[in-house]
Structure 1
Amino acid sequence: MAPRIVLITGCSSGIGLSAAVALAKHPDFKVYATMRNTGKKGDLEKAAGGGCLDKTLFIRKLDVKDDKTFKPVLDEIINSNGKLDVLINNAGLGMLTISEAAPVEGVRHILETNVIGLFQLTQAVIPIMKKQKAGHIVNVTSIAGFLGTPYSTIYCASKFAVEGMTESLAAELMSDNIRFSLIEPGPVKTNFRENIQEASGTGLDNPDVDEDTKKRFVAVLTKLREIYAPVTQTADEIGGVIVKAVTDEKPCLRYQTSEDAIKRAKFKLADPSGNSFLSMYREALE
C-alpha cells in the first residue's frame, strides 16, 4: 500500500518536530516537514536520524505568512506522489502581554501567522483534496482556543478563530470527504515559551502602564505557572495525539491531549452563563 502523504508546518522544534518524526517513523506515512527558516533544521535532522531523512521525511521551506512559498512545496508533493492526504497546521506564535500595552504590529504578526497564514495554506490544499475526494486537515490549537487566559488575549483570540474556522470548514467540506480535527493541548514543555515574545514585549517597560497593573501581571503569570506545572505535557506526548488523530479510522473533530484539558473543556461548556469560568480565575488568583 502506498504511504499516506503528510505536510506539516512549524517543524523546527516542539510539537511540529515531534509529530513529523513520529509520523516519518510510522510505516504508513511519508512526511514533508516544513519550517520558515531551514537554517534551523538541525534538531529535526538529528531527531529523525538517517533511517528517515530523505526517505520518509523531507524538510522543506514554507512560511505561512508568505503564500509564495506554498506552491513549490505543494507542486513537489503532487508531482512526486500524486496526492496529499494530510495537512497538519502547526506553525504558530504566542504573545504574553498587558493588553493595553500590546503593540499593533505585534498583534498583526500573531494574527497573520496563527489565523490568516493557516487559512491561506488550507485554501491552497482544499482543491487538491476535493479533486482526490479525500483528505484530513489537522489544526493544532490549544485549550486557549476555548478557554480565555489572562494576558494571553491576542493568542487566545487567534486560537478561538481557528476553532471556529475549523468547525465551519468541517461542516462545509464534509460532503467532499475532507475531514478536520483540532488538537487542543494544555501547557507543553517546548521552546514556545522561550520564543513567545518574538512578536512583542510584555508591556512591563511601558511607562504608560501603571505599577499596580505591572505587579498584577507578574503575580498572575507566576500563579498560573504554578497551577499548570503538574499537568504540563511534553511535545512528544502531543505528537502522539496527532498520530492518533491521523490514524483513527473515523477521526474526531476535537482531541484534548490530557485529562486536565478534557476537564477544562467540560467545565467551560457546563455553565452557559460564563460565571463559573470567571470564578475559576477569581478563586485561583486571589
Structure 2
Amino acid sequence: MEKTVVLITGCSSGIGLSLAVRLASDPAKTYKVYATMRNLAKKERLLDCVKGLHKDTLDILQMDVTDQRSVLDARQRVGEKRVDILVCNAGVGLMGPLEAQSLDTMRQILEVNLLGTISTIQAFLPGMKTQGHGRILVTGSLGGLQGLPFNEVYCASKFAVEGVCESLAILLQHFNIHVSLIECGPVNTNFLDNLQAAEPGSSGEQVDARTQSLYEMYLQHCGTVFQNAAQDTDDIVKIYLEAIQSASPAFRYYTNSALLPITSPKTAASDGLQYIKTMSKIIFSTNNKVEQK
C-alpha cells in the first residue's frame, strides 16, 4: 500500500522529534516521514529514538525554514515527489522587556515563526493543489490567541501565523486541502532552554527597575504554570495524530483542556479592557504586588 508522505520541520527536539518518531515507528508502516532540521549535527537524538524501527519510513533532511533555497532543496529531495501532510513546527521564542530587545533578534523571531512558516507552505502548496489533496498542520500557541506580557514579539509572530492559516483555510477548502492549527500551551521540551531572553541593555536601552521587578514576577508565574500544567510531547503528538487521521479535521485543536485561551473577556466589552485587567490580575497578583516607585 502506498505510504502517506509527511514532511515535518523542526525535528531536532521537542514536538517535531516526537511526532517524527511516532509516525516513522508506526507498525503498519503507513507513513513515510521526512524529518527536517536546520542543523543535521543534531540528528543523532532522532536516530536513537527510532532505532531499528524506521526502515523505509524515515529520511532526515537538512532544511532551514529561513533560507528559501534550503526549503526548495529539501522539497527536491523528497523521493515520492509529493507531500501529503506538511507539518510546520519549527519555531523559536523570545521573552523579556521589549526595550531590551535588539532589532536583529526581533527579526530572527519573525523570520523563523512567521516567514519560515509562510515560505514552507509556499514551497509545498502548488504540489498539493496539483494532486488535489493535502493537509497542512501548523504548531500554534496560546500566545497566538491572546497577548502575554514580555512576549510581545513572540505573540506578534504567532498572531500573524493565525491570520495566515485562517486566510488559507478559507481558500484551500476548494482544493481539498485542510489547514489545522495545533494550539499548544506549555510543553515539557527544551523550548524554555532555547528561549531567547533579552538581557537588560542589550539593545542599548536600559530597563527601569519597576519593569525589571514585574518581569521577575512574570518569570515566577511562568515557572508555576510549567510546573502545574506543562504537557509531555507524547500528549501533543496524540492531538497531531487526531488531526492527521480525521476524515474531516478541525481548523483548531487545543492540546490542553486545563489551559484554554481566555476568550470571553476579550469580547465581553467593546473597549477590550476586561481581558487586560483579567490577565494582569492572574499574572501580577496582589500577593506579589510590586511596590510603586
Could you tell me the TM-score, scaled by structure 2's length?
A: 0.90
- Residue segments in structure 1 that go unaligned for 5+ positions in a row: none
Given that 1:14 and 1:235 are in contact with CA atoms closer than 8 Å, whether structure 2 keeps it comes out as: yes
The residue that corresponds to 1:203 in the other structure is: 200
Q: CA deviation at 1:280?
A: 2.2
1:170 aligned to 2:169? yes
> Of 32, 44, 47, which aligns to 1:45?
47
Given that 1:32 and 1:60 are in contact with CA atoms closer than 8 Å, whether structure 2 keeps it comes out as: yes
Q: CA deviation at 1:271?
A: 2.6
> Which structure 2 residues correspond to residues 194-273 of structure 1 after superposition, within 5 A?
194-197=193-196, 201-203=198-200, 208-262=206-260, 264-267=261-264, 271=268, 273=270
The residue that corresponds to 2:23 in the other structure is: 23
Distance in 2 between residues matched to 1:261 and 1:179, nearest whole Å: 25
Higher relative contact order (CA 8 A, sep 6+): 1
Given that 1:35 and 1:60 are in contact with CA atoms closer than 8 Å, whether structure 2 keeps it comes out as: yes
The residue that corresponds to 1:66 in the other structure is: 67
Q: Give the secondary-structure state (helix, strand or coil) at the position aligned to 1:113.
A: helix
Q: How many pairs were matched up?
A: 280
Partner AA of 2:50 in structure 1: A
Given that 1:147 and 1:268 are in contact with CA atoms closer than 8 Å, whether structure 2 keeps it comes out as: no
The residue that corresponds to 1:97 in the other structure is: 96
Q: Give the secondary-structure state (helix, strand or coil) at the position aligned to 1:187.
A: coil
Q: Give the secondary-structure state (helix, strand or coil) at the position aligned to 2:249.
A: coil
Given that 1:96 and 1:202 are in contact with CA atoms closer than 8 Å, whether structure 2 keeps it comes out as: no
Q: CA deviation at 1:72?
A: 2.5
What does the per-residue CA deviation read over 1:179-233, in whole Å, with 9 as the maximum and x for residues that have no partner?
A: 1000001001111100111xx6243776621122111111122123214431110
Partner AA of 1:127 in structure 2: P
Partner AA of 1:37 in structure 2: N
Distance in 2 between residues matched to 1:265 and 1:128, nearest whole Å: 37
> Which structure 2 residues correspond to residues 35-184 of structure 1 after superposition, within 5 A?
35-52=37-54, 54-77=55-78, 80-184=79-183
Given that 1:89 and 1:140 are in contact with CA atoms closer than 8 Å, whether structure 2 keeps it comes out as: yes
Q: CA deviation at 1:127?
A: 0.5
The residue that corresponds to 1:279 in the other structure is: 277
Going from structure 1 to structure 2, the CA distance change for 1:100 and 1:60 (only over 3 Å counts) comes to same
- Residue segments in structure 2 that go unaligned for 5+ positions in a row: 286-293
Going from structure 1 to structure 2, the CA distance change for 1:35 and 1:203 (only over 3 Å counts) comes to same
Distance in 1 between residues matched to 2:269 and 2:215, nearest whole Å: 28
Q: Give the secondary-structure state (helix, strand or coil) at the position aligned to 2:195.
A: coil
Q: CA deviation at 1:114?
A: 0.5
Q: CA deviation at 1:141?
A: 1.2
What does the per-residue CA deviation read over 1:228-262, in whole Å, with 9 as the maximum and x for residues that have no partner?
A: 43111011211221111111111100000011233
Q: CA deviation at 1:71?
A: 2.2
Distance in 2 between residues matched to 1:265 and 1:257, nearest whole Å: 15
Greater alpha carbon shift after TM alignment, 237-246 vs 174-183: 237-246
Greater alpha carbon shift after TM alignment, 99-108 vs 227-236: 227-236
Partner AA of 1:31 in structure 2: V
Q: CA deviation at 1:276?
A: 3.1
Going from structure 1 to structure 2, the CA distance change for 1:69 and 1:225 (only over 3 Å counts) comes to same
Distance in 2 between residues matched to 1:39 and 1:168, nearest whole Å: 36
Partner AA of 2:191 in structure 1: F
Partner AA of 1:248 in structure 2: S
Distance in 2 between residues matched to 1:231 and 1:204, nearest whole Å: 32
Distance in 2 between residues matched to 1:73 and 1:50, nearest whole Å: 24
Identity rate, percent: 38
Q: Give the secondary-structure state (helix, strand or coil) at the position aligned to 1:183.
A: strand
